[in-house]
Amino acid sequence: MAPESHHTFNELLLTSAGAILGDKSSIEWTDASWNPTTGCTKVSPGCQNCYAERLAHRLKLMGNPKYQRGFDFTLQPAALDLPLKWSEPRKIFVNSMSDLFHEEMSDEYLDQCFEVMERGDWHIYQILTKRPERLLRYSKRYGRFPAHIWVGTSVEMALYKLRIDLLRQVDATVRFISFEPLVGKVGKVNFRGISWAIVGGESGPNHRPVKIEWIRELRDQCTKQRVAFFFKQWGGHTPKSGGRILDGRVWNEYPAFVPKHSGRPAVVPVRLRSAKPKP
């Protein structure tokens, strides 16, 4: 792997704020990250240049106690109640440094994670997994997910569209797809039952370039099928290298969704019009 510049590493530290600070993530579609587990294993081509793996190894070398095992899957029980300490409502990306439905995750610990999300219902939790088959099995035992818990899966190329079919079977108010890193053409997508699509190119020293026609094809299908579209990044050597402008504007759409909470103020994402960039 080619060495990263100091600037690139700082970008990674900011983009993966949940690994260190949790709050105030610079990931554009969320507000904070929460990592009740760390570490993962590769399951598909989108994992090839995993930013979390690179960052975990750096953090281990820096002596961060959470990463003594590097990128091996590790429970982090000390971080379990972190969302309950945040009184201000926010959108929380669950496991930016891992996968909540990893093969080594026990149902018992999953239950504890969901108990925290149930108790901290003034937040919105954004769960993203490359293992929707495990998510589906768990959901059949769990039942319908509360409306403030959003569930999503990653699809990096056409070969993995089956993940969408699995996600569609999960009983949830908001289901979403992350087409990031988009490393191949996806083609025609049936967005039935899907509320939101995030699209982004890959970043890092060995990033694979994304093609604009892949992105436009997904955006146009979202528009036609009335699915909120969020363009996160072009990617490049760093996450911010290529910016976020697509066809002259920023695309910051969220699901039109008003959660019902127990008397606490809530983050209410709304479907935003695509804004033209400021001059």
One-character DSSP codes across 47-65: GTT-HHHHHHHHHHHTT-G
For residues 152-159, average pLDDT: 98
Of 29-33, 189-193, 238-242, 273-277, the one with minimum mean pLDDT is 273-277
For 193-232, write each residue's pLDDT tens digit.
Answer: 999 999 999 999 999 999 999 999 999 999 999 999 999 9
| Residue 168 confidence (pLDDT) above 70 | yes
Contact present, 164 and 198 (Cβ < 8 Å)? no
* pLDDT value at residue 23: 75
Share of the chain above pLDDT 70, in %: 84
Report the domain count for the chain. Answer: 1
Query: What per-residue string of b and e applies to 218-240 under the rule 16 or more CB within 10 Å gives b?
Result: bbebbeeeebbbbbbbbbbbbbb
Find all residues with CB under 8 Å of 17, minimum gap 6, and list them: 23, 24, 25, 26, 27, 32, 33
* pLDDT value at residue 273: 36
| Residue 19 confidence (pLDDT) above 50 | no
129: helix, strand or coil: strand
Rounded to the nearest integer, the mean pLDDT of the chain is 88
**Full residue range of the structural domain in which residue 152 is found:** 6-71+90-233
249 is a domain residue: no
Cα–Cα distance measured from residue 84 to residue 99, given in angstroms and rounded to the nearest whole number: 21
| Residue 120 confidence (pLDDT) above 80 | yes
Partner residues linked to 150 by β-bridges: 126
215, containing H or E segment? helix 212-224
- Region for 70 from its dihedrals, namely left if φ exceeds 0, alpha if ψ lies in -120 to 50, beta otherwise: left
3-state secondary structure 217-279: HHHHHHHHCCCEEEEEECCECCCCCCCCCECCEECECCCCCCCCCCCCCCCCCCCCCCECCCC
20 is a domain residue: yes
278 is a domain residue: no
150 is a domain residue: yes
226 is a domain residue: yes
251 is a domain residue: no
Structure tokens at 233: 């990044």
Structure tokens at 3: 């060495």
130 is a domain residue: yes
| Residue 3 confidence (pLDDT) above 70 | no
* pLDDT value at residue 26: 85
* pLDDT value at residue 109: 98
For 32-68, write each residue's pLDDT tens digit.
Answer: 999 999 999 999 999 999 999 999 999 999 999 999 9
| Residue 188 confidence (pLDDT) above 70 | yes
Contact present, 29 and 232 (Cβ < 8 Å)? yes
pTM for the model: 0.87
84 is a domain residue: no
* pLDDT value at residue 257: 67
* pLDDT value at residue 115: 98
Share of the chain above pLDDT 90, in %: 81
* pLDDT value at residue 271: 41
Partner residues linked to 127 by β-bridges: 94, 151
